[in-house]
Structure 1
């Protein structure tokens, strides 16, 4: 029975290591959503400053992007950043480079992570409203016309399409935990003329 206390200590140490590993994994999985939520508070302040002064305001001194729009959809508001790099998407939706501003002719495209802001895309149905307030203070209202799933490199989205359109895109399926080649694409058309 002399080995019993040593085995018990070994089991206790193993249990403690497993507990620490579990806590570490839990903290890591919560980091991206927590960062995105905190960033939205700072982005909201910077966007308010942009609207008040007419000049792009950085949300924090070392930011390499600026807020360019406020998206309102599914009862939620999100500040979108200029660009769709991984660095920008870590903090909020990004206005995809090479697409027009929302409300201008063509198709404005915004992308975000499926486990942060654009988890709500699965709630949108045809006819649902989406409002986009731009950095210049103009607001354009859109109505969802539908959604579809496409390969990331075969979306069929044309930024120069005739009309005034909006596309919101995120990875598919929404509940997945690994990267994949598919994207959920929510399409909308301009509902107002202001």
Structure 2
């Protein structure tokens, strides 16, 4: 009887503990992803100086291949509030995606003809994609310092089995991919949020 009363009284504790663990894990993942970007940025600066790949830390099996710049636009206008810069790693493995957006190696390389595909997690770096809208600019900086300008032509939600957006060939374009919905509390999403962008007529980066 006493045990039954104790279970009724404190039965909420496992649920609370589980919630704390999930919250702590989420905070840890975000902190790790954002701190890693500082190390990746330093490696990218070295790459810009000598056009050679540099690992962000000695045990890394990847290196930055581009800098992706996504502007946040003011609602109802074309005014840029601020620009979020993210450093893109080579190879969209689970390990690399924990540290930042990553280039899908089955697609075109940065600056190469075809479909350049970059994937990222919805709860860290690519959460910003939910604010991207048609017509806005995106920029990719290459290892030789060039600024490639793109214009968003569509945003859409597709099933993970839809491989149309993963094709390497076709017209030159930039494809950004993350899981959907953005506010999901668990992994294993079957949907993907896709941002498609094509090269702008002017390659110059606008302020």
Larger Rg computed on CA atoms: 1
Q: What is aligned with 1:185?
A: 194
Cα separation, 2, equivalents of 1:88 and 1:135? 19
Mark the runs of 5 or more structure 1 residues left unpaired by the alignment: none
Match of 2:126 among 103, 118, 123: 118
Q: Give the RMSD, CA atoms, in angstroms.
A: 2.2
Q: What is aligned with 1:47?
A: 44
Q: What is aligned with 1:26?
A: 23
Structure 1 length as normaliser, TM-score? 0.86
Cα separation, 2, equivalents of 1:187 and 1:144? 6
Alpha-carbon offset, residue 58 of structure 1 = 0.5
How many residues align? The count is 185
Mark the runs of 5 or more structure 2 residues left unpaired by the alignment: 72-82
SS where residue 144 of structure 1 aligns?
strand
Q: Is the 1:40–1:92 contact (alpha carbons within 8 Å) kept by the matching residues of 2?
A: yes
* Superposed counterparts of 1:80-119, under 5 Å: 80-119=88-127
Task: Say if 1:161 and 1:80 are closer, same or farther in 2 by CA, change over 3 A.
Answer: same
Match of 2:56 among 59, 72, 75: 59
Cα separation, 1, equivalents of 2:11 and 2:192? 41
Q: What is aligned with 2:160?
A: 152
Cα separation, 2, equivalents of 1:175 and 1:16? 25
Q: Is the 1:112–1:118 contact (alpha carbons within 8 Å) kept by the matching residues of 2?
A: yes
Q: Is the 1:103–1:165 contact (alpha carbons within 8 Å) kept by the matching residues of 2?
A: no
